[in-house]
């Protein structure tokens, strides 16, 4: 469900299915770097689901983060794969972690 402020809320019954798989890559005290794979691709899916379990994305004040050390949302898609909607050809894109986020994880 989306409110007038464009914030997506978790709906207990009757909401759309949203599936996210995650793996903790590294922990840094109270924060962790995760690898996330989404199956469904709902609007703000990762942000909503992590906030719903009490672990909002660093820098995501809209969904409850209290810190913003990188001065941006600490969420980055390093790999995107899908089938082209017309040709059906597999498409794959890669993107390095931006410098501000590299500084957060120390690499």
Percent residues over pLDDT 70 in the chain: 88
Domain assignment present for residue 84? The answer is yes
* Neighbour-count burial of 8, counting CB atoms closer than 10 A to its CB (0-12 exposed, 13-18 middle, 19+ buried): buried
Taking all residues of the chain, what is their mean pLDDT, rounded to a whole number?
88
Query: Is residue 27 included in any domain, yes or no?
Result: yes
| Residue 67: both structure tokens together | 């810190």
Using an 8 Å Cβ cutoff, are 69 and 58 in contact?
Answer: yes
pLDDT in tens, 23-41: 999 998 888 999 999 988 8
What is the extent of the structural domain holding 51?
20-105
Distance CA 56, CA 67 (A): 10
Three-state DSSP class for residue 96: coil
25 domain-assigned: yes
- pTM of the complete model: 0.80
Is residue 7 a part of any domain in this protein?
A: no
* Tally of structural domains, the chain: 1
The answer to the question of residue 15 being in a domain is: no
The answer to the question of residue 64 being in a domain is yes
Domain of 66, CATH number, reads 3.30.2350.10
Q: Which of 70, 75, 82, 76 is nearest to 95 (CA)?
A: 76
């Amino acid at each position: 469900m989306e409110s007038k402020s464009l914030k997506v809320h978790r709906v207990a019954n009757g909401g759309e299915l949203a599936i996210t798989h995650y793996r903790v890559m590294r922990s840094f005290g109270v924060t962790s770097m995760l690898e996330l794979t989404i199956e469904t691709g709902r609007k703000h899916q990762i942000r909503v689901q992590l906030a719903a379990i009490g672990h909002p994305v660093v820098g995501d004040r809209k969904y409850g983060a209290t810190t913003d050390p990188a001065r941006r949302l600490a969420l980055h898609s390093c790999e995107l794969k899908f089938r082209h909607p017309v040709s059906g050809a597999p498409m794959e894109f890669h993107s390095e972690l931006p410098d501000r986020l590299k500084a957060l994880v120390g690499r």
